[in-house]
Structure 1
């Protein structure tokens, strides 16, 4: 079967840029079948890219498809395919279009062996959907207990600023800087989402400006897995 390969296999360039600022990321990958919505490549074709990302100290996580958030069987199957390529556990998750069903998605992810999710955020505005800038264990009201998974809430997404909020570069940066300062005052965590096909033009300028500012402020810019490992000692 002939497969397709996205033109945006720019992972090495992203890693090189982030290394200039002492930053490491989690790269979330869609694992889709040819008949799936938004299918553009077979994940198996990207094995060398995934290996390169991990070898250079970054993380690979699962990016769920449109309906994966509400399908525990699909979550487990896509996780299995990605782990087979990596030959190591996949512990981080984010869903397409920030779709989440509370509390079911967290329950499905926990049972599938994920350690953290990073879906909880707004698509159409920047800020904190759950009202705080800290990782947390969601509380299961049905069973009156914390769930066995950590949510690292999302605060800023590239398309949010330029596409949904219709901000220019200067206004996008001013809002981003304000959020960074708020998180700094709270000694919190800022989780940002930048798509690899948004690494050009004003999108790239803003991302570099954010990395530069956070680097000069002494921020620890790391992957979701490393953050989970550190934060879980206090949860």
Structure 2
């Protein structure tokens, strides 16, 4: 029997390197960095690499796909805000042939494909429902859950998720802090089977808190040991682009995290599969509902 669960997730925010290539070329005074703009070079396209790594280790994860709306569909007020230009420059189309092939390959290989709710969708159930349908049309079957972009959330967000037919969400967490701030167990905010998987660790938080690879790894080791000691469900997020050479150390940490969890006899997989196991095993919803109330 597994000592604890490690849920692996990937938010697909920016699978194409764009304005970052121009910034790199200017900062490094190296015009050759503009080659990253080519689809044949694009270092942020890490799907094959991630699948190969996880397949080698015998694990699977969840990939959450984003359908951010274009600027032409936004108000003039938002046109004037830099945040929305950044989101626009990072847009991609999940139904484009290359992306659709990736989604089909992930699904066929046993990976979970889920929803990454767009920047403003956390309080827009109609937009969330539309984005869910966009991903499902490519996938060919319903998605189980996902995570909101930038972890955006209001009290009504989980109700929106449940209303549009999602079984779980994993937006409760931080991009700058890590740990079991919301407890060791999944949360049932409505006292039913809808489940919240708190985010234990986002990769960027490691280097927010630590200056070098080894101290970042020590933090991962401590989290895994704490998870094993408390029979926890630990959820981690590694954005695919962070496995590129543009971000030294992140790939090493991700591999070591999985390898160490396997040594500690963890169950490892995507949240949708963990959700199914919890329901099948008769997860104590009443007890976890109390934890949800405390978290809010």
TM-score, reference length from structure 1: 0.90
Q: Pairwise CA RMSD of aligned residues?
A: 1.6
1:61-85 Cα offsets, whole Å, 9 max, x none, are 1111111111111110000111011
Alignment of 1:231 with 2:278, yes or no, is yes
Higher relative contact order structure (alpha carbons within 8 Å, sequence separation ≥ 6) = 2
Q: Is residue 2:235 matched to residue 1:191?
A: yes
**2:269 is paired with a residue of what secondary structure?**
coil
Query: Secondary structure at 1:190's aligned position in 2?
Result: strand
Q: Deviations over 1:67-106 (max 9, x none)?
A: 111111111000011101111001112011111112x001
Alignment of 1:1-235 (within 5 A): 6=16, 7=42, 8-35=44-71, 37=84, 38-39=87-88, 40-45=91-96, 46-102=99-155, 104-130=156-182, 132-139=183-190, 146=191, 148-162=193-207, 164-200=208-244, 201-233=248-280, 234-235=282-283
User: What do residues 130-167 of structure 1 show as CA deviations (whole Å, max 9, x unaligned)?
Assistant: 2x12112114xxxxxx25510011101111111x3243
Report the more deviating stretch, 33-42 or 15-24: 33-42
What runs of 5+ residues in structure 1 fail to find an aligned partner?
Answer: 140-145
Unaligned runs of 5+ in 2: 1-13, 17-41, 75-83, 284-296
Return the offset for 1:113: 0.2
2:15–2:240 Cα contact (<8 Å) kept? no
Aligned length: 223
Q: Is contact 1:122–1:128 with CA below 8 Å preserved after alignment?
A: no
Structure 1 segments, 4+ long, off by >4 Å, are none
Using structure 2 for the length normalisation, give the TM-score: 0.72
